[in-house]
Structure 1
């Protein structure tokens, strides 16, 4: 049985950041990383963007080289998922039957792709995208060409539909349940712009369509939608987001909240020896104090770093407002805070329509900011939200735009 001062469960950006933070303050404590995937921590955003467009290469995805991991003196125990956590004994068990004990543990197992209930005979033609292995499988099929259907209007579906539409010999049918890609985020003026861009790229974009059934004939998949619409394709990507891997924490009796594990401002769970970071952590919003849980890369890295410092007793209250971003064709954006288009949205659009700043307002205060093709303004956006700016003032209209 291996014994660790710090046992980090998961193998994503949160764990990579936490291990570095711990080692920066504790040069002698032993650190173990238990990961379900066989790969050491790697970048996930390129799986739906840069790898398809030639901007990234698989060889460059690793968050640290083997030499860097060795220099940190970390045990990488990969390809062996944890199936049991016993907080009383401070012990974990992996699927291979190995036992590990800890003084302090971090839970950062991320999430898994949501699945569509499928008969076995259809599974080879239906894809999800969460891991590097998922990307390799989908890339092999996409390279063969044909018609692909992408289902899902969130970040993953939007990015994949855009990336796949730029592949040779591939036609894209894209169905979303809302008014377009990223419909819960974008105000009408940007929604119209992005919908038009997909269609200009040759994407067959169908809005307000919710998949109800998937079947097949001899050669094609048949998609039945709740609205009575029907379509067909050669293969399908089901991109309806992820589900946080809370099962381990739930079975261990940790307090849950908002689809994740409840933590305090130091990212410590209801067990004083267990911290949580990344997609799993439900923590107090640094500005508003309400519980939030975020499924974005920046949040995983920053909460991982903060949790690592907390585990060695070197952290203050978590105060970072995490950003999220996307790139769709020539459009790119960064956003901060609570950005939902059912809020009061105030949009400052450049005269040529190429840039925009969207302010998401509630109770006479700016709660979120989206910067559309506007760069270098994230810190200013954070300050605007932290100051609880009144959108009735001139500040919201002039603080961030470049025109």
Structure 2
């Protein structure tokens, strides 16, 4: 599939990259977007983001200035390496016969200059470095000009075209560092490959199952309850609105039971709408409502994952949603502070055997490991597990004891409860 890449930067850099990008024309259409000043970057992206699949910036400055859009689209820029810098320094030495110890440099990559100088035992005491990101061109020009006028430097290096042209017009010796051809090729390849993966991921089938348990039970007992059918129509209207927001198809599978087919990208872009849907259902009915979302390369896999997600949501509690992706990763409860992620699959035979002996499922074990990670202290107690996984403290203690016996958990300490009682054992899972 042919992608469209927006190329953002000054005219000369854009033209240079366009020539190199011609090698990728069979799979990539590059659309140039030229600015006179880096400050124009944000407006250009805002006006044209819907016409391209991803962006290639000619340098770090436009990349940085458009960071507010990075969650919506993929952005890339060629990295300067020490090779780019070394070429400039060699030109200064052999073409201009200038002292490379007395230089002013504006760049985001300050550390690369420092590393190169240190590795080659070049003194740094007369090297003047300016972090240029977010600074207006006029301020950067004045920085270089002032150092040159006061004879603190013999030559300047910049990565910005506007700064370079202004210093040239002031008869100040200046070089402009640019990415190498190889760096640019790598950036274009990386951009296309990541977009391709991103596009494939967003195109995966998504199935959302919505179930209102008590309504289904009531319908089974009384199929002619008019109030129940009126309530179902109200809920159906909310579900239909959500289906429209994610460009999905909508199916009623019974009283209080609904199915939405869409794409992963649409569901993820409208994740807050899903939370709003559960809230609307909560306002309409006091019945237990849950949502399960499944992603997959086929409708069958996505539906299977949605069923598994719904089972986890129902086991967790009322008005909760869980998600199972194509890799078997389970996340939930969605849109809550205490959200955990775990996997229901295991490929470690030794671990699988130990869990069987402990009488603990892989999903429970992975849930507990995820809780431990979320707590951020590499430790866990039965009380933590009880609270996060909605199980009794007694059951949590039993599981931890069984894991410890199989070497899958280790007692690392004790804590004294605030109220009276025996000290609680502190465990570390995954030892």
TM-score, normalised via structure 1 length:
0.24
Larger Rg: 2
Q: Give the strand-richer structure, 1 or 2.
A: 1
Q: TM-score, normalized by length of structure 2?
A: 0.23
Which structure is higher in helix share?
A: 2
Larger relative contact order (Cα-Cα within 8 Å, sequence gap ≥ 6): 1
